[in-house]
Structure 1
Amino acid sequence: MEAMPPTDERSNRSDPSSEPRSELSTVASIRRLHPYVRTALPRLAGGLLASLGASLMALAIPRVLQWVTDGPLASGARDHDWAGLAWSVVLVATLGVGEAGLILLRRTLVMFPGTRVEAAMRTALFRHLQDLPVSFHDRWPGGQLLSRIMGDLGLLRRWLVFGILQLVVSIVTIVVGVGLLVATGGWLGIIFLCGAIPVTVLAFRFSRKYRKISRLSQDQSGDLATTVEESVHGIRVLKAFGRGPDALDQFTEQAAELRETEIRKATTDAGLTTALRVIPEVTQAVALVVGVYLVASGDMTLGALVAFFTTTAVINGPVVDLGMTLSMTLNARTAVDRFFEVMDTVNPLTDPERPADLPPVTPGRGGTTGGHVALRDVTFRFDDAERPVLDHVDLELPPGTTTALVGLTGSGKSTLAMLAPRLFDVTAGRVEVDGVDVRDMTREQVRERVAVAFEDPTLFSASVRDNVLLGVPDDLPAAEREALMTESLEIAQAHFVADLPDGADTRIGEEGMSLSGGQRQRLALARAIAARPRVLVLDDPLSALDVTTEEAVTARLRDVLVATTTLVIAHRPSTVALADRVAVLQGGRITAVGTHQELLATDPHYRYIISSLEEDYAAHAGEEPAPDQPAPSQSAPQSQEALS
């Protein structure tokens, strides 16, 4: 269902960047991934063991070289143990091949579960976004959500299949390698171990600084994606008003800020990587001087010295990689936080544990029975608003009738229209459909019975058929679905569909922007009609149509949907005149209900509203207001007094 927030009553939007940040440690944050990676853990664990095995094989090679140097190679050339040399070559080759095989096994084990975890998290996030209320999407820019569901989850997949394994393997390799150096190299091992102290301090300082920069970078990427999204969607407006250069300036400024952040991030990462290269090299140089002295003095064998430096060569790789894997881990932690910022958002619109039993809605030419709507002492206030938009509203919509809701801009019309389909929940009071509070139904039950067509229609990049039949059950026979589509298009006066290149199978492009505004509105109306609801809410869905087409659509609606209750948010006098009843919304309250003629005769505020609608419509059509209609004054009360 399309959902457009009520723009005339909505107050300030919240900035998602102001949402609470995670105060969990990196380990605690990443542990939250367990429900999503649980099924992949066996293969990930297997990949980790394969990586550790490869690392230990690499560390075993220096021990073989030590034995070869101090054994078969220690004698003169004539006394060499050629059999021992041959076996040592075979052993080193075996260890090398085994290391390569384990690395290949690791890649095979972790690649597929990593992509499955990414797909599962992406599906879970999209499902949650679909479930969250309109108020959430009113606050959050689309680019921020897009960056989380695409960029962040892609980063998490790369970390799962490479980063976390490499981090664990690097740490284990360094710890085991340094242990071997201390055990076999004596003072040389202690010298190398001393280099770990500044490395640890630098890594700790790096993690604190890099985490903040990483978060800033990913948030700025989301903001940039939002700017691109808004510019693409509003490209016609930008071109029409010649504001393309301004949009480019804004984009360039945001891109420059992101570039500066990325440079800071890369500089911070490069600083740690440089330190991780320089410190081990310095300690190796010191160890080399000391080692040569120890060998010359007979306190260390040549084989032990060879094994020491061969081991340091094995360790240096993980030490240098530690900076990259640590930065990847911190980026992954930020991605996890951003993912759960959305997933932790609680949907206040929940389904009851025991939904009310209602008769099934069966689509058909005769419509459906029921459709009685009642708003009883309804109050609604947005969370960030000081005053309620609707204040103790009482309104009855008898079954099978058309009620027009009129009011000045900001009176709460669109908000009231969103209560029946339960896009918002009332702050107080009840909204009933056929005597049942909509909160006692599941949202699926409510939206099977209540369909909405909005003034600003949202169509999807699909065929006309798919758009019109969006609310029709998939299990309905194909012939019935086709009949529903044909009839709905005819009721909405969408005859232009027959002239499209592929008829109803024509793809209409993103948001249907290849169509005119009136064509989009008629398809959106046909979509609402095809759902055969008990209650049809029309938030001025015919504003782009001429009066003749509007009359034809309304007449067909009355003929076909005889059992459907219709609530129309009216912005044109012609719409009001075609309704059975009219409800006047003033100051968040229903102040009058009656026929158009009755209210014209008895309600000054209604006459003021109608005169305003006529003036607005005449101005839109390029005409002057009708001479027998008084022009509205600057304030409603004065106009009411004059009309009295």
Structure 2
Amino acid sequence: MFRYFENLVNPYPPGVPETPPRGLGAFILHFSRPVLPLLIVMSLLTALVSATEVLFFSYMGELVDWLAGAERDGFFAEYGWRLAGMAALVVIGLPLLTLLQSLITHQSIFGNYPMIGRWLAHRHMLSQSMAFYQDEFAGRVSQKVMQTALAIRETVMKLMDLLVYVIVYFIGAMLLMGSAEPWLMLPLVAWLAGYIAIMKVFVPRLRQVSMEQADARARMTGRIVDSYSNIQTIKLFADTQREQDYARDAMEGFMTTVHRQMRLATKLTVSLTLLNSLLLAGVAAIAIGAWYLEAVSLGVIAVAIALVMRIRFMSNWILWEVAGLFENIGTVQDGINTIARETEVKDASHAKSLEVSRGEIRFDALRFGYSRPDGEKNRVFDGMNLTIAPGEKVGLIGRSGAGKSTLANLLLRFYDLEGGRILIDGQNIAEVTQESLRRQIGMVTQDTSLLHRSVRDNIRYGSPEATDEQVLEAVRRAHAEFIFDLVDHKGRRGLDAHVGERGVKLSGGQRQRIAISRVLLKDAPILVLDEATSALDSEVEAAIQEQLDTLMVGKTVIAIAHRLSTIAMLDRLIVLDEGNIVESGTHSELLVRNGLYASLWRRQSGGFLGLDTEEEGERQHGRPLDVES
């Protein structure tokens, strides 16, 4: 039975993820559609349960009158069937209604509903551009996804519960009391007016402080996660006090909102208690007066007092539910600012899969700049042209900020161009799917980041269908045999060992070799090496360089390196300066020109004490020295 109701909703809706709308109602509806029919059924069942409870109050009033006026000897003969009907409703009807309502609420909706929100929001977040994540804390984004999904569920379910209870109970109470004595309705009407006034005063304030609190909580969490993510840097500079102060500043901002919220809570509680006391006193006074004038029976007094006590307890619950409702609405609105952002880099509606047969890359009139907070652009390229022939091995050289890594990022379409085109075998990368583009490009970066999963999963990430034999071959070729000696804190060994968040348990060189293994296994026709061997020692680098030479055979290669000796043997070297190609040619040709490349080469291979004339001549004529910078 439980499994049937649990499976009524698929918590992982299929289909292409869409950008959620920015309007509050439309945003909530976007994540609620799969459970909307069940939410309606839940509300109808809640209304039936509430109506049944109101009916009990009516029965209790009648029971008091029966007991007051009936003779004991003939009581069961006269009222037996009515008592049996009441008992059946209490013992059988209400539990069955409650069971069905609980199955729909807890098995079908409660767990699945927020998971739908998390699934859809997470898929949309994965499609966001690199620029999005450069402006956001990872912890802040993940918290928004988790909190907003729960807040959507709480907002909708609280709203439906409140509407049902207020409508059913209040209307039921008015009808029961009004049918016996119209004057009994007067305190209820006055109470409702006072209740609405209290809500108008306090709820907007609670809503505002809740929104500020959600933002303060996210800021606090983001700062804490930022500290944990960069724990090595913090310890390296021995500045934990600064981190404590940085976190405490956010915590104090959060506590300011908490104190404001609790002050409002105290004022609200006292105001509501006073209003409820006036309601109880008013109904009791009118009921007793009506009984004294013989206008109502004892049963009516019992029902009136019981309903008022029920409304009194419910009013506290309702007001706090309303406060919680607006707190959740504040959380949802705060989440909209992060989750409902349009994806900057999108696949075109007519996008096809990229087919690479030769591997020619052409950068045609490239225009691109990074956006700044003030709306201006940090211009990187303004009309740059470059063609890389199929199978050509090209090295990109230049000072920091010249545009080398930006060119690689644009090739992978991490950012969209402002003008121009990038063509691979004549296909505009803006008109192919991003996934198919990146499947055709293998890349090893300087700052290698690994997933907190097993070594095997990390290596197979670019080729999920690879066998263990293929994984082991990639490990051997990348000289990453250290893997077989790894043991994690749970005792998992070798390829099964987990590497920690971002690979923190491994050295930079170890992470680099795993990354090279991953690219070797992927075996893509286009290869991008961005300081691929920068974290390796000389002996390992020399060994891996041989494997990279083998890997580059038949592939189009773009290699970025500050250590020029690692790319001097490539087919062509491109020297960039301020986003422009200032030199192009082989290592020997560029040395002869005695331009920027020759200057950089001399800076790395010369300038050491003891450099004699013969060595200087060798350097000038293209023979690199056995010296590393």
TM-score computed with the length of structure 2 as normaliser? 0.86
Q: Taking structure 1 as reference, are residues 490 and 344 closer, same or farther at Cα in structure 2, changes over 3 Å only?
A: same
Aligned to 1:4: none
Question: What amino acid is aligned across from residue 64 of structure 1 in structure 2?
Answer: Y
Q: Aligned match of 2:461 in 451, 467, 470?
A: 470
Aligned to 2:342: 346
Q: Aligned match of 1:172 in 143, 152, 167?
A: 167
Aligned to 1:217: 213
Q: Aligned match of 2:319 in 323, 337, 352?
A: 323
Quick check: 1:265 aligned with 2:253?
Answer: no
Aligned to 2:547: 556
Q: Taking structure 1 as reference, are residues 357 and 199 closer, same or farther at Cα in structure 2, changes over 3 Å only?
A: closer
Aligned to 1:8: none
- The whole-number CA distance in structure 2 between the counterparts of 1:87 and 1:462 is 68
Q: Taking structure 1 as reference, are residues 50 and 130 closer, same or farther at Cα in structure 2, changes over 3 Å only?
A: same
Question: SS state of the match for residue 231, structure 1?
Answer: helix
Give 1:358 shift.
5.1
- The whole-number CA distance in structure 1 between the counterparts of 2:328 and 2:25 is 8
Q: Taking structure 1 as reference, are residues 297 and 70 closer, same or farther at Cα in structure 2, changes over 3 Å only?
A: same
Q: Deviations over 1:539-583 (max 9, x none)?
A: 212111133433332332222331111111211122232332211
Tell me how many residue pairs correspond in the alignment: 585
- The whole-number CA distance in structure 2 between the counterparts of 1:290 and 1:624 is 106
- The whole-number CA distance in structure 1 between the counterparts of 2:422 and 2:265 is 57
TM-score computed with the length of structure 1 as normaliser? 0.84
Question: SS state of the match for residue 389, structure 1?
Answer: strand
Give 1:311 shift.
1.8
Q: Deviations over 1:602-644 (max 9, x none)?
A: 14322333345568xx9xxxx87968899xxxxxxxxxxxxxx
Q: Taking structure 1 as reference, are residues 244 and 88 closer, same or farther at Cα in structure 2, changes over 3 Å only?
A: farther
Q: Aligned match of 1:304 in 294, 300, 303?
A: 300
Q: Aligned match of 1:45 in 40, 43, 67?
A: 40
Quick check: 1:371 aligned with 2:366?
Answer: no
Aligned to 1:440: 431
- The whole-number CA distance in structure 2 between the counterparts of 1:346 and 1:78 is 76
- The whole-number CA distance in structure 2 between the counterparts of 1:438 and 1:625 is 51
- The whole-number CA distance in structure 2 between the counterparts of 1:554 and 1:373 is 24
Q: How does 1:122-141 map to 2 (within 5 A)?
A: 122-141=118-137
- The whole-number CA distance in structure 2 between the counterparts of 1:488 and 1:355 is 33
Question: SS state of the match for residue 538, structure 1?
Answer: strand
Question: SS state of the match for residue 426, structure 1?
Answer: coil
Aligned to 1:452: 443
- The whole-number CA distance in structure 1 between the counterparts of 2:22 and 2:558 is 47
- The whole-number CA distance in structure 1 between the counterparts of 2:285 and 2:73 is 31
Worse-superposed segment, 453-462 or 162-171: 162-171
Q: Deviations over 1:137-174 (max 9, x none)?
A: 111211221112223323434455x5234312322234
Aligned to 1:295: 291
- The whole-number CA distance in structure 1 between the counterparts of 2:106 and 2:553 is 58
Question: What amino acid is aligned across from residue 112 of structure 1 in structure 2?
Answer: Q
Question: What amino acid is aligned across from residue 383 of structure 1 in structure 2?
Answer: S
Q: Taking structure 1 as reference, are residues 498 and 357 closer, same or farther at Cα in structure 2, changes over 3 Å only?
A: closer
Give 1:405 shift.
1.0
Give 1:135 shift.
0.9
Give 1:520 shift.
0.5
Aligned to 2:3: none
Question: What amino acid is aligned across from residue 176 of structure 1 in structure 2?
Answer: I
Worse-superposed segment, 423-432 or 332-341: 332-341
Aligned to 1:205: 201
Contact 1:405–1:413 (Cα < 8 Å) also in 2: yes
- The whole-number CA distance in structure 2 between the counterparts of 1:626 and 1:96 is 101
Give 1:482 shift.
2.7
Contact 1:497–1:504 (Cα < 8 Å) also in 2: yes
- The whole-number CA distance in structure 2 between the counterparts of 1:144 and 1:624 is 51
Quick check: 1:488 aligned with 2:495?
Answer: no
- The whole-number CA distance in structure 1 between the counterparts of 2:308 and 2:83 is 21
- The whole-number CA distance in structure 2 between the counterparts of 1:370 and 1:451 is 15
Give 1:136 shift.
1.0
Question: What amino acid is aligned across from residue 441 of structure 1 in structure 2?
Answer: V
Q: Taking structure 1 as reference, are residues 370 and 569 closer, same or farther at Cα in structure 2, changes over 3 Å only?
A: same
- The whole-number CA distance in structure 2 between the counterparts of 1:66 and 1:357 is 74
Q: Aligned match of 1:142 in 118, 131, 138?
A: 138
Contact 1:58–1:314 (Cα < 8 Å) also in 2: no
Q: Deviations over 1:314-354 (max 9, x none)?
A: 32232221122212222332333344434432223222333
> Gaps spanning 5+ residues in structure 2: where?
1-19, 488-492, 617-629
Q: Deviations over 1:10-54 (max 9, x none)?
A: xxxxxxxxxxx9995xxxx24533343333233322222222112
Structure 1 runs of 4+ off > 6 angstroms? 77-80, 623-630
Give 1:232 shift.
1.5
Q: Deviations over 1:396-454 (max 9, x none)?
A: 22222322211112222211110111111221111111221111211122111112211
Q: Taking structure 1 as reference, are residues 106 and 119 closer, same or farther at Cα in structure 2, changes over 3 Å only?
A: same
Q: Aligned match of 2:404 in 406, 413, 424?
A: 413
Q: Taking structure 1 as reference, are residues 314 and 99 closer, same or farther at Cα in structure 2, changes over 3 Å only?
A: farther
- The whole-number CA distance in structure 2 between the counterparts of 1:106 and 1:372 is 63
| Aligned-residue identity in percent | 24
- The whole-number CA distance in structure 1 between the counterparts of 2:353 and 2:188 is 75
- The whole-number CA distance in structure 2 between the counterparts of 1:319 and 1:136 is 44
Q: Taking structure 1 as reference, are residues 599 and 23 closer, same or farther at Cα in structure 2, changes over 3 Å only?
A: closer
Q: Taking structure 1 as reference, are residues 576 and 256 closer, same or farther at Cα in structure 2, changes over 3 Å only?
A: same
Aligned to 2:370: 382
Q: Deviations over 1:99-128 (max 9, x none)?
A: 444333322111133222222221111111
Question: SS state of the match for residue 379, structure 2?
Answer: coil
Worse-superposed segment, 531-540 or 285-294: 285-294
Question: What amino acid is aligned across from residue 66 of structure 1 in structure 2?
Answer: G
Contact 2:527–2:552 (Cα < 8 Å) also in 1: no
Q: Taking structure 1 as reference, are residues 388 and 518 closer, same or farther at Cα in structure 2, changes over 3 Å only?
A: same
Question: What amino acid is aligned across from residue 128 of structure 1 in structure 2?
Answer: H
Aligned to 2:620: none
Q: Taking structure 1 as reference, are residues 627 and 319 closer, same or farther at Cα in structure 2, changes over 3 Å only?
A: farther
Q: How does 1:268-283 map to 2 (within 5 A)?
A: 268-283=264-279
Q: Taking structure 1 as reference, are residues 250 and 342 closer, same or farther at Cα in structure 2, changes over 3 Å only?
A: closer
Q: Deviations over 1:480-537 (max 9, x none)?
A: x632x33433343323224335333332222221111111111112212221112111
- The whole-number CA distance in structure 2 between the counterparts of 1:123 and 1:94 is 44
Q: Taking structure 1 as reference, are residues 578 and 278 closer, same or farther at Cα in structure 2, changes over 3 Å only?
A: farther
Question: SS state of the match for residue 391, structure 2?
Answer: coil
Q: Taking structure 1 as reference, are residues 392 and 598 closer, same or farther at Cα in structure 2, changes over 3 Å only?
A: same
- The whole-number CA distance in structure 2 between the counterparts of 1:121 and 1:159 is 13
Contact 1:273–1:323 (Cα < 8 Å) also in 2: no
Question: SS state of the match for residue 431, structure 1?
Answer: strand
- The whole-number CA distance in structure 1 between the counterparts of 2:22 and 2:298 is 52
Aligned to 1:110: 105
- The whole-number CA distance in structure 2 between the counterparts of 1:79 and 1:495 is 95
Contact 1:192–1:283 (Cα < 8 Å) also in 2: yes
Give 1:455 shift.
0.8
Question: What amino acid is aligned across from residue 451 of structure 2 in structure 1?
Answer: F
Aligned to 2:385: 394
Contact 1:61–1:95 (Cα < 8 Å) also in 2: no
Give 1:297 shift.
2.2
Aligned to 1:10: none
Question: SS state of the match for residue 371, structure 2?
Answer: coil
Q: Taking structure 1 as reference, are residues 48 and 355 closer, same or farther at Cα in structure 2, changes over 3 Å only?
A: closer
Aligned to 2:51: 56
Question: SS state of the match for residue 247, structure 1?
Answer: helix
Give 1:471 shift.
0.8
Question: What amino acid is aligned across from residue 497 of structure 1 in structure 2?
Answer: I
